Amino acid sequence: MFEDTTLPQIIVENLTKTFRVAERQAGIAGAFKGLVSRRYKSVEALKGISFTLDAGELVGYIGPNGAGKSTTIKVLSGIMVPDSGRCEVLGYVPWKQRQAYVSRIGVVFGQRTQLWWDLPVVESFELLRDIYRVPAAQYATSKSELVDLLDIGPLLDTPVRQLSLGQRMRCDLAASLIHSPALLFLDEPTIGLDAVSKLAVRDFIKKLNRERGVTVILTTHDMDDIEALCNRLIMIGGGEVLSDGTVDDLRKRVTSERWLIVDMAEAGVTIDDPDATVTESDGPRITLAFDPDQVSTAELISRLAARYPVRDLFVQNPPIESIIARLYGGER
Amino acid sequence: MTSGALTPYLSMLSARFRMGLQYRSAAFAGLCTQLFWGVIRVMIFTAFYRSTTHTQAMTLSDTTTYVWLGQAMFALLPWQVDTDVQSMIKTGTVAYEMLRPVDIYWLWFSRAFAQRIAPTVLRAVPMLTVAALLLHLKPPATWQCGVAWAISTILAAVLGSAISVLMTISLLWTLSGDGVSRLLPAIAYTLSGMDVPLVFFPAWSQPLLFALPFRDLVDLPFRLYLGKFAMPQWPVLFGQELAWIIAFVLLGRFLLAIGRQRLVVQGG
């Protein structure tokens, strides 16, 4: 089903895209002025993005709003034509060989549905089956698999407009996979979902990647998505790649800091230690930040346990949010 | 092309057609409106024929038939941009259209064709029945004329679809499409003969009206029905209709290719 897995599936080199945006001054005078002469502002959405991706990877593509995430996805999926740069996906140049290329990929835009609003879900599936020219037997297998995995059997005959957001997202995921693509782009697939639906969607994405070997590129603002799913993280900001590596690499690059969370036997204890700084104090719970290169975790723990009334303690890595916030902040 | 190659387009056409057939109350209301307007138009023409002393280019009975055909085939005219595509462009869902492994022109054409024929089928059959039984709609001049009318009507549906796809493609520049949805139908309505049969227009305008594509939508099929063209002329007339179809399809494909390059799907 998949071709040579030793070659990179996606090669992106120096991709650039600039948008021209008409500007209008505020107020009535501004509106009239805009009738006569328009000022345009150039927005560089992509300023030379480069990365490669191998088959079977599950990559988080993250960045703040306006960083160029969606633009990249739109270029990679053949919707948008970049200004310059090279891009090869599954051996195709997406915007040049669009028709042949798009039958091999699946795309879900979390904020938009590809299902027909007025039709029962299953009719959208059948329309997609015909549009992708999926043979009847293959459609039957792939549909029953997706229905099982996503638990959407009871929803198939419901018109799409009557589905909840979580139900709709599960159906949208199924719709994007009816033609068994080798590569799946997910643009904010968990946006607006409740906790249960998020878990269901995450679980499905993980299975798809592990069991079916589908390569997944995921954009998201949800850090839990990233920690739960991604073995690799490409972070962009201002149209450039800021970092590319595993979640641990990213942690190391930004900070080697660890957190020690201590529960005291009573509230109001103040900790004073030369190797640790208090970052948060909430009743009996105190959070300390320390650098494991300066003081070993064991040493710090025994020192604190000897000096203070410690009831419980545990060590953790700073949450990915704070790492990313630091990296974003450093860029501005 | 194998039959499999057409599957996506036929499937889109059939889905859109079935959706169009859902709007039964709209079709019924449309039928009533068009019957009402038809009666008024026939009354106006009757008054006109009674008051004029000149011999007119068409007899009153021909004109009456022409009016009823027009009321029945009303929905074939390119009335608006494709509302599906319009809302997709507004919401950005149009991105999904670009992700389908099909030719976007023919995909949009299939939608447009279904949007033309679904309401026409719903309205034309009852309208023609009522008009034939009660309101002086004549049968075709000869059975051959009936066949020529049918062929020309099918070509008119294709031409109307090609024009409305072109209107839809203009959305890639204008986004809203409200302008073209008001302007073009107004022009098509008058120049096709839907308003007043084209023979009533001044003599000097006849060659121009004849050369334009709009007459192929209404005036040509109706006059074929009435037997106004001799059989040897038919190939030329069909040829002209076909030539306009090809021209609009080529223009549409060309503009779509350009429009796609500048497509920007904004937002997250």
Does residue A8 register a pLDDT over 90? Answer: no
Number of other residues whose CB lies within 10 A of the CB of residue A31: 11
DSSP helix/strand/coil, A46: strand
Residue A93 pLDDT: 92
* pLDDT of the residue at A296: 87
Residue A131 to residue B265, Cβ atoms within 8 A: no
Interface of B with A (CB under 8 A): 4, 7-8, 10-12, 15, 19, 22, 91-93, 95-96, 98-103, 260-261, 263-265, 267-268
Position A29 scores a pLDDT of 76
pLDDT at B3 over 90: no
Q: At B87, phi and psi to the nearest 5?
A: -70, -30
Mutation pick from A40, A69, A116, A133 vs chain B, by most beta carbons of B within 10 Å, is: A133
Is the dihedral angle over the CA atoms B4, B5, B9, B12 positive or is it negative? Answer: positive
Tens-digit pLDDT profile for residues B175-216: 777 778 888 888 888 999 888 899 899 999 999 998 999 999
User: Least CA distance to A220: which residue of chain B?
Assistant: B268
* In chain B, domain spans: 7-262
**Residue B11, min C-alpha distance to chain A (Å):** 6
Mean pLDDT for A170-192 is 92
In this complex, the residue of B4, B93, B101 whose CB is nearest that of residue A112 is B93
| Mean pLDDT computed over A76-91 | 90
Tokens (6 digits) for A196 = 């249960």
- Residue A134 to residue A154: CA distance in whole angstroms: 23
User: Token match 């009016």: residue?
Assistant: B67
Taking CA atoms, what residue in A is nearest to B9? A131
| Nearest beta carbon to residue B15 from set A74, A107, A127 | A127
Reply yes or no on whether the pLDDT at A330 is more than 70: no
Collect all residues of chain A within an 8 Å Cβ-Cβ radius of residue B93: 112-114
Residues facing A303 on adjacent strands: none
Do residues A273 and A317 touch, judged by C-beta distance below 8 A?
A: no
Query: What letter does residue A308 receive in the DSSP assignment?
Result: S
Closest approach of chain B CAs to the CA of A70, in angstroms?
Answer: 6
Confidence of residue B1 (pLDDT cuts 50, 70, 90): very low
Highest mean predicted confidence (pLDDT) among A106-120, A226-240, B153-167: B153-167
Pairwise pLDDT comparison (A29 vs A199), residue with the higher score: A199
Report residue A7's pLDDT band, with 50, 70 and 90 as the boundaries: low
**Would the CB atoms of A105 and B98 count as touching at under 8 Å?**
no
> Is pLDDT at B264 greater than 80 in this prediction?
no
Residue in A138, A101, A72, A132 with CA at minimum distance from that of residue A9? A101
Alpha helix locations (H) across A77-164?
98-102, 121-131, 136-150
Tell me if A155 sits within 8 A of A167, measured CB to CB: yes
Q: What would the mean pLDDT of A296-302 be, rounded to a whole number?
A: 88
Q: Is pLDDT of B160 > 60?
A: yes
pLDDT at position A259, please? 87
Is pLDDT at B267 greater than 50 in this prediction? no
Contact B260, B104 (CB under 8 A): yes
CB within 8 Å: A79 and B103: no
At residue A2 the predicted structure's pLDDT band, cuts being 50, 70 and 90, is: very low
Average pLDDT over residues B225-238: 92
Per-residue pLDDT at B113 exceeds 90: yes
Q: Which residue has the higher pLDDT, A319 or B183?
A: B183
* Percent of the residues in chain A that have a pLDDT greater than 70, as a whole number: 96
pTM value is 0.84
- pLDDT for the residue A331: 46
Characterize the bridge pairing of strands A276-282 and A285-290.
Answer: antiparallel
Nearest to A246 by CA among A55, A43, A102, A57: A57
Residues whose CB is less than 8 angstroms from the CB of residue B213 and which lie 6 or more positions away in sequence, other chains included: B159, B163, B244, B247, B248
Least confident of A24-38, A208-222, B81-95: A24-38
What pLDDT is attached to residue B166?
Answer: 92
Which A residues 134-173 touch B at CB under 8 Å?
Answer: none
Cβ neighbors of A206 (< 8 A, separation 6 or more) are: A58, A228, A229
Nearest neighbour of A132 by CB, restricted to B22, B96, B101:
B101
Q: Given a cut of 60, is residue A1 above it in pLDDT?
A: no
Residues in CB range of B16: below 8 A, 6 or more apart: B84, B110, B111, B114, B115, B118
- Residues A56-74: what's their mean pLDDT? 87
Question: DSSP characters for B9-22?
Answer: HHHHHHHHHHHHHT
Q: Which amino acid is at A200?
A: A
Mean predicted lDDT score pLDDT of chain A: 86
Q: CA-based angle A235:A241:A244, to the nearest 5?
A: 55
pLDDT score recorded for residue A102: 93
Q: What ipTM did this prediction achieve?
A: 0.81
- B97-107 in b/e form (b: 16+ CB < 10 A) is bbbbbbbbbbb
Burial A116-145 (b: 16+ CB within 10 A, else e): beebbbbbbbbbbbbbbebeeeebeebbee
Please name the residue of chain A whose CA is at the shortest distance from the CA of residue B89: A112
Residue pair B96/A114 in contact by the 8 Å Cβ criterion:
yes
Mean pLDDT of A121-144: 93
pLDDT band per the 50, 70, 90 thresholds, residue B67: very high
Interchain pair B11, A130: CB under 8 A: yes
The yes-or-no verdict on residue B56 having pLDDT over 60 is yes
* pLDDT, average across residues A184-200: 90
Q: Taking CB atoms and an 8 Å cutoff, what residues of chain B touch A187? A: 268
Which is it for the CA torsion A60, A64, A68, A71, positive or negative?
positive
Amino acid occupying residue B178 = D
What's the one-letter identity of residue A168? R
Report chain B residues whose CB lies below 8 A from the CB of A114: 93, 96
| CA–CA dist B101, B98 (Å, integer) | 8
Nearest CA in chain A to B15: A127
Q: What is the pLDDT of residue B180?
A: 80
Q: Please give the radius of gyration of chain B, using alpha carbons only, rounded to the nearest integer.
A: 20
Q: Percent of chain B beyond pLDDT 90?
A: 48
| Rounded Cα–Cα distance for residues B203 and A289 (Å) | 93
Q: Residues A17, A45: contact at Cβ < 8 Å?
A: yes
Count of pairs with CB atoms under 8 A, one residue in A, one in B: 77
Measured between beta carbons, the chain B residues lying within 8 angstroms of A102 are 98-101
**Residues B74-109: pLDDT tens digits?**
888 887 788 888 888 887 788 888 899 999 999 999
Q: Exposed, middle or buried: residue B40 (CB in 10 Å: 0-12, 13-18, 19+)?
A: exposed
Alpha-helical segments (H) within chain B = 3-21, 24-51, 60-73, 83-91, 94-98, 104-134, 143-169, 171-174, 178-191, 206-211, 219-225, 234-261
Of the candidates B99, B108, B95, the residue with the CA atom closest to the CA atom of residue A98: B99
* Cβ <8 Å between A111 and B102: no
Does the distance separating the beta carbons of A107 and B91 come in below 8 Å? no
Residue pLDDT, tens place only, A252-278: 777 778 888 888 888 778 888 888 888
CB atoms closer than 10 angstroms to residue A268: 8
User: What is the band of B268 on the pLDDT scale with cuts at 50, 70, 90?
Assistant: very low
Phi, psi torsion values for A139, nearest 5 degrees: -60, -45
Report percent pLDDT > 70 for chain B: 96
Q: What are phi and psi of B198, to 5 degrees?
A: -65, -25
pLDDT at res. A332: 43
Instruction: Kindly tell me if the per-residue pLDDT of A125 is higher than 90.
Output: yes
Give the integer Cα–Cα distance in Å for A275 and A280.
16
- On chain B, the residues whose CB falls within 8 A of the CB of A77 are 99
Mutate to test the interface with A, among B7, B96, B111 (most CBs of A within 10 A): B96
If contacts are CB pairs under 8 Å, which of residues 15-54 in chain A contact chain B? 19
Residue A68, pLDDT above cutoff 90: no
Let me know if A42 is exposed, middle or buried by CB neighbors in 10 A (0-12, 13-18, 19+): exposed
Cβ(B178)–Cβ(B90) below 8 Å: no
Confidence at B266, pLDDT banded by 50, 70, 90? low
**What does the pLDDT average to over B140-157?**
94
Position A176 scores a pLDDT of 94
Q: Which residues of A touch B103 (CB under 8 A)?
A: 99
Whether B8 and A98 lie within 8 Å, measured CB to CB: no
Q: Is the predicted pLDDT of residue A184 greater than 90, yes or no? A: yes
- Which of A 1-20 lie inside 8 A of B, CB atoms? 19
CA distances from B215 to B12, B148, B158 (A): 29, 15, 14
- Report the residue of B99, B102, B111, B263 to disrupt the A interface, i.e. the one with the largest count of A CBs within 10 Å: B99
Average pLDDT over residues B240-245: 95
Query: What is the mean pLDDT of the segment spanning B17-45?
Result: 87
Q: Which of B19, B101, B265 sits opposite A79 (nearest CB)?
A: B265
Q: What is the structure's pLDDT at B162? A: 94
